[in-house]
């Protein structure tokens, strides 16, 4: 486990565009966006957050921060949250953290940056994939100590995508 400082913020009744503006996420190429609609979960771009119809949740993340937005009811407003690692306790609260990764379904398909699995179809991913590589979604989990000294799960933050060959893949 590693000790880190995490800044959090959670405005309610905010539109998707206002959440992006509020947390100052700019399209500099480092941000990855995960969009959730009733028909699919897919990677997208910052501009698609407000242009893709029926988005009910999105996660925009980079190596050091994540902004999440979830629609509430039938309006265009929702709840947003920011999780950002900072350098000192003056800016954030102390947590213990662990890094991990999820293996995404599929192997390199036809076309650039496409994973394919028969039971799932195609998934375009915003990372370069070579033949024989699998793609992992990296994350960090945060834990806080309760009044009795036990560690309690606080949050998970997505941090990036990584393509690895069979020899580089984790054993677990």
DSSP state of 92: S
Residue closest to 10 by CA, chosen among 68, 89, 64: 68
Residue closest to 129 by CA, chosen among 100, 158, 99, 104: 104
* CB count in 10 Å sphere of residue 106: 20
pLDDT tens, position by position, 103-130: 998 888 887 888 888 888 888 999 898 8
Q: What is the pLDDT of residue 29?
A: 67
Residue closest to 91 by CA, chosen among 6, 151, 16, 2: 6
Percent of the chain at pLDDT > 90 equals: 40
Tokens of 1: 């486990």
How far is it, in rounded angstroms, from Cα 102 to Cα 136?
5
- Residue 27 above 70 pLDDT? no
The pTM assigned to this predicted structure is 0.85
């Amino acid at each position: 486990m590693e000790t880190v400082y995490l800044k959090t913020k959670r405005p309610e009744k905010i539109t998707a565009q206002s959440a992006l503006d509020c947390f100052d996420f700019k399209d500099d190429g480092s941000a990855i966006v995960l969009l959730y609609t009733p028909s699919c979960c897919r990677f997208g771009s910052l501009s698609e957050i407000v242009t893709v119809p029926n988005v009910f949740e999105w996660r925009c993340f980079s190596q050091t921060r994540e902004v999440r937005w979830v629609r509430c009811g039938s309006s265009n407003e929702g709840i947003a949250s920011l999780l950002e690692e900072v350098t000192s306790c003056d800016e954030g609260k102390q947590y213990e953290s662990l890094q991990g990764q999820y293996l995404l379904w599929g192997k390199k398909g036809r076309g650039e940056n496409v994973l394919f699995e028969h039971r799932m179809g195609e998934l375009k991913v915003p990372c370069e994939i070579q033949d024989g590589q699998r793609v992992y979604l990296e994350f960090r989990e945060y834990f806080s100590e309760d009044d009795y000294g036990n560690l309690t799960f606080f949050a998970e933050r997505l941090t990036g995508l990584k393509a690895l060959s069979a020899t580089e893949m984790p054993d677990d």
